[in-house]
Structure 1
Amino acid sequence: MKLFLVLFFVAFVVNAEVTIKELTPDELRQICPNEHKFCADKVAEGKCFGSSRKAGELKRKCPCSCSNVHHRRIQNCCKRVGKEEMEFCLPLCAYNTTLQDLGGGLGIKCVSQLTTWAYCASDAQDTIPCCQNKGVPKECLSFCKGDVPTCDLQSIFSYKPCLKHMETIVSCHKEQLAAKPQFDVNWEAPCEWE
């Protein structure tokens, strides 16, 4: 029993260190001082996650606060399931990562983290129906469920046409975010990139 408690405590401490804490209302007010007074409280309660009309309205009225909690969510996932030695890639683990970011120096250095980024962007959810409704082509749908379709560095470039649909794919991911994170902290990237 003592061993179990020690292992539990160690696991708790390790997981606690890796997780970036959720933003508090006070922190949101400080980050987004020009937003409506109600924004920080509602957003900190998780009200800007999902695709409900209320969530959409809050995203429209409180874009700074919602953007910050969405960013915190994807960062938490990448930090928890990504490889520690690749922490320098965290700036790319965001919902606003551009094609220029991915094609730039850091993007090329961090191609091995593409599977982690895709998984975390989806928050382990399958958004294929949303992607299909928004016209994402069939050959790009694996990205809509957070999968990278190949682990081969050469063949990943054959998916370059999907890049023009990434904004749509990411918008589907963000629309499907639940109030609580859905990603599995024990998930491991299926690819071992060189």
Structure 2
Amino acid sequence: MIETKSYSKTKIITCQQSKHGELVCGDSYYTIETDEYFFTGVADGLGSGAEAKKASEQAVHTFREHHHQSLKHIVFHCNQNLQTTRGAVIGALKLDFKSGLITFAGVGNIQCLLLYPDQTFKGAISVPGYLSGRRYRMREMSFPFFRQSMFLMYSDGISIEREAIKRYAEEQDPEKMVQRILPPVETEYKDDLTLISGKYF
């Protein structure tokens, strides 16, 4: 359920769970680190089941092909490539190692939190809507991102109360943070869930 991937400058923890009664999770995600940046994207296909998975995987294919571009261009290509699907909400995050800036763009309800070593945090906000080849709004939000900082991205299969965020930030460990956030293993999920936590070393 929980997977760990260690790159040279980032450590990433991911968790996915399908909606109760569904055989597949309608969410998909992608992560990559290069010498210049780290990128991750989360897509939540509308609805659940196989057709939702098809849509989210199309978005991930776009992430894989275009992660070297700006988030503005990545979202544009996602929208184009989702025309033949039921659509998806997406969140994309890129950490530029040279500038020390982390940038987020989201369309829909993918949530993103940035958690700093001093236990302060910031929320990067998605714009309402979804991508399916139609007109859409988007914005990019950029923030300074220091070494030992963490990020958290998650789909709407989970809800995190604002008062709990600081407690999670105190962990300073992305895996422990994910373990604290996740509901008990016997939970019957009402929606697909994807949770990605990362730390910049």
TM-score tier, shorter chain, comes to: 0.3 to 0.5
State TM-score, norm by structure 2.
0.33
State TM-score, norm by structure 1.
0.34
Q: Bigger radius of gyration, 1 or 2? A: 1
More helix by share: 1
More strand by share: 2
